[in-house]
Structure 1
Amino acid sequence: MFARLTTIQGNPEKIEDAIRVIENDVIPASKVLPGFKTGYWFADRKTGKMYSVTVFETEKDVESTEAAASQLRKQATEKLGAEVKNVERLELIARA
């Protein structure tokens, strides 16, 4: 499996807003992406830094969904006044 790891800098005072955007917009849109397996969204309430890890069946799935993921990031960060700091593609090499 392969994953996309996204780092976002947001406002600590808008974490609850971020949760709503993730639950109402990001998760439903992510679930219909080809090869999507699961996703995890994390936040540091003190700093406003957020991370998302979306897991896909194949590397090709990650690559083929990049445009849709980019659009999702743009929409979500614009709603929250946040900024995408980094996006990485990673291979899952172990899990428990």
Structure 2
Amino acid sequence: MYARVVTIYVKPGSMDEGINIYESSIVPAMKKQLGFKGTTLLANKDTNTALSISLWETEADMQAGEASGYLQTQFAKAAQLFTAPPANAHYEVAVQV
């Protein structure tokens, strides 16, 4: 299994709006992607940062969303809330409980 970890930098006071966009629009779009296994959003209102951790069956499934433009489309849904472009990283899941 593979994980995409996206660090999101949010304007002060915009975290709740960002969480709403994630829940109402981004998560439903993720669920339609081939190989999608689940997601978690971690939010820190003190630092105005969030981490989106999405799990994918294969590395190819994870990368397909980037190649197709899917990931960029999801970023655009909340772009007005960002103070910097999201930082995207890939990991192989070593342990999951």
Say whether the fold is shared (TM-score over 0.5): yes
Structure 2 unaligned segments of length 5 or more: list them: none
Q: Which residue of 2 aligns with 1:5?
A: 5
Cα contact 2:21–2:77 (8 A) shared by 1: no
Q: How many residues align?
A: 95
Structure 1 unaligned segments of length 5 or more: list them: none
* CA RMSD across the alignment: 1.3
Cα contact 2:41–2:52 (8 A) shared by 1: yes
Where 1:13 maps in the other structure, the secondary structure is coil
Cα contact 1:7–1:51 (8 A) shared by 2: yes
Q: Deviations over 1:36-60 (max 9, x none)?
A: 0000111111111111001000001
Cα contact 1:26–1:76 (8 A) shared by 2: no
CA distance in structure 2 between the aligned counterparts of 1:57 and 1:37, rounded to whole angstroms: 6
1:72 pairs, out of 74, 84, 91, with: 74
CA distance in structure 2 between the aligned counterparts of 1:83 and 1:25, rounded to whole angstroms: 21
CA distance in structure 2 between the aligned counterparts of 1:49 and 1:21, rounded to whole angstroms: 15
Give the structure with the higher percent helix: 1
Q: Deviations over 1:1-44 (max 9, x none)?
A: 00110001102311111111111111111110110000011111
Q: How does 1:29-68 map to 2 (within 5 A)?
A: 29-66=29-66, 67-68=69-70
Cα contact 1:3–1:55 (8 A) shared by 2: yes
